Amino acid sequence: MPYDVSIERLQLFSLFDLKGPRQGLTDWAGDVLNHLPKAPNQLSREDGVELCHTGANRWLLRAEIGMETDLEAKLRLETAPPEISIVKISDTMTFFRVTGEDAIQVMSIGCPLDLHADAFAAQAVSFTEFFNCRALVLRCRGGFDVAVEQSFADMIADYLDRATI
């Protein structure tokens, strides 16, 4: 029986890889990064900017692509002090949106995380694996966003097609 799910390959997001101590990052670009989440594998959203705490001293910023120029100006990548690192990685990851009644069933085919709401709540985000690729997983309305390194995107699209026949 086919899964009740819809899968959409999303347009590019504006993505920035942020490394360094949180104080150093907020001191440098406080008006964008003032809501850096403290808890591991949590995200916070403010003014269209999502900040995901994906590792020790490491965050990922995600926003709509239309915000990129403004974000670049505010983050001042080129002149950032040496104790922090801000790198634009917008074209390195491809996002898929998996939504619908059976979204969690389809996700569980490729991902070992427990994605039930009590284990993976609304603000949860994590790098994990998806069909053997390193992948970022977070919730969206009605399902999950999952991102893989862009060169694997066609392969993952194919896996998702086959998994949901």
Partner 1 sequence: MLNIPCPFCGQRNESEFAYGGPVKPDRPQPDKVSNDQWVDYLTQVPNPLGPVEERWWHVKGCGTWLTIWRDTRTHDIVEEPGDAG
User: What is the binding site for partner 1 (CB under 8 A)?
Assistant: 40-41, 54-56, 58, 112-113, 126-129, 132, 134-135
Task: In angstroms, give the least distance from the CB of 24 to partner 1.
Answer: 15
Tokens of 81: 């002090």
Q: Which two tokens stand for residue 165?
A: 């026949």
Separation between Cα atoms, residue 79 and residue 76, nearest integer Å: 6
Nearer to partner 1, 63 or 136 (CB): 136
CB-nearer residue toward partner 1: 30 or 55: 55
Q: Locate all alpha helices (DSSP H) within the chain, ordered by sequence.
A: 22-33, 68-75, 103-110, 153-163
Q: Provide, rounded to whole angstroms, the least separation between the CB of residue 58 and partner 1.
A: 7
The CB-of-142 to partner 1 minimum distance in angstroms stands at 25
- Reading the block at residue 36, the tokens are 């850096």
Q: Which is nearer to partner 1, 62 or 71 (CB)?
A: 62
Among candidate residues 63, 71, 27, 24, the one with its CA nearest the CA of residue 44: 63
The one-character DSSP state at 161 is H
* Closest distance of CB 131 from partner 1, Å: 11
Q: Which is nearer to partner 1, 94 or 128 (CB)?
A: 128
